[in-house]
A = this chain, B = another copy of it.
């Protein structure tokens, strides 16, 4: 039997100045299961080359385009070839590289949202279903151990039948027309051609939606949205709120904003059932507040001995040694890698490892954008939430 080798990864996008590409690399590398071997870091060949050099890659593995990367890598012997393609480009360059990568036999990690349009998502969903390769969509927040604990406690009935979900995602960075001040992030995030037709709700509203369905394990059945553009001159939504009803009739409120001046990124979710409540927020991500009627609230903490298997499989440090955003991201990469290894060995991966976001999260996220925009434009209160697969 041959010894196991690190998984080789090629990256699409993530060149100089890109925030999320660097985070993907930190996350992929941290646990020593994946190494960065190749990349098409920019559509500008010189910028791609430069990024490859900074990342100390073999220049022969640095490409000018993802198409070139896929072709050339396929020419390499399997033992040298990359195993995973990680795609961290703006949303308009999600569909095509993912399709090509999967169809060429690579596992794919894709930054969310899945695609530029709902139509693309529907098509990609089918491609993923047919592929025997693994697909992962980085809905980061589901990678936090205490979010996973929340999911597991709810699934086990700890707080009873779910009645109420509050999820909020307040940011403030787009409180003014930053996209006119030479800010690259702001430019593409507010450009429908690159970001898709929803702004704030494409970028972070989808995270909030995904988190709500993830932790409750219950699907949204209908919504009532009120989106708005608060900064004059911006073409797409920068703020909004959505009333929701879940399939079990639980009520939900989802808010997302990029104009809550001074707010950073404190995604927060609270879920109440008929026996108790659970509250988590990213700013204090290693804690989970557990509320009980008539008894003291409890503070569950990451890295302790009393947590469930989902949290445990996604923790690196003992209690009181805070993990954070990059570790949440790394949990997604690590679980993805663990599943690939299991696949190779012909073993069934642990349930906890398979708990990373994928095609289902992706298409539902794109459907959410579609429905939220439709609902916001509608004079009817309720818009049924029906996903076309």
Contacts and interface: CB of A to CB of B under 8 A. Distances in A.
A163 interface: yes
Contacts of A44: none
A266 interface: yes
A262 B297 contact: yes
A103 interface: no
Interface in A308-367: 316-327
A59 B173 CA distance: 50
Given A25-B32, A164-B257, A379-B380, A297 B295 contact: no
B320 A5 contact: no
A144 B303 CA distance: 20
Contacts of A316: 22-23, 26, 326
Given A55-B32, A321-B325, A273 B294 contact: no
A32 B36 contact: yes
B294 A297 contact: no
Nearest to A275: B261
Contacts of A30: 26, 29-30, 326
Given A224-B243, A260-B277, A163 B272 contact: no
Contact of A259 (B266, B272, B320, B382): B272
A367 B224 CA distance: 23
Nearest to A376: B381
A293 B19 contact: no
Interface stretch (A112-120, A121-129, A278-286): A278-286
A300 interface: yes
A325 B239 CA distance: 33
Contacts of A160: 261
A261 B159 contact: yes
A159 B22 CA distance: 35
A228 B253 CA distance: 13
Contact of A175 (B6, B22, B293, B380): B293
Contacts of A171: 320
Contacts of A188: none
Contacts of A293: 172-173, 175-176, 261-262
Interface string A10-26: 00000000010011011
Contacts of A326: 30, 316-317, 323, 326-327
A380 B380 CA distance: 5
A274 B261 contact: yes
A23 B323 CA distance: 11
7 contacts: A164-B239, A239-B251, A262-B272, A262-B290, A264-B320, A294-B305, A296-B298
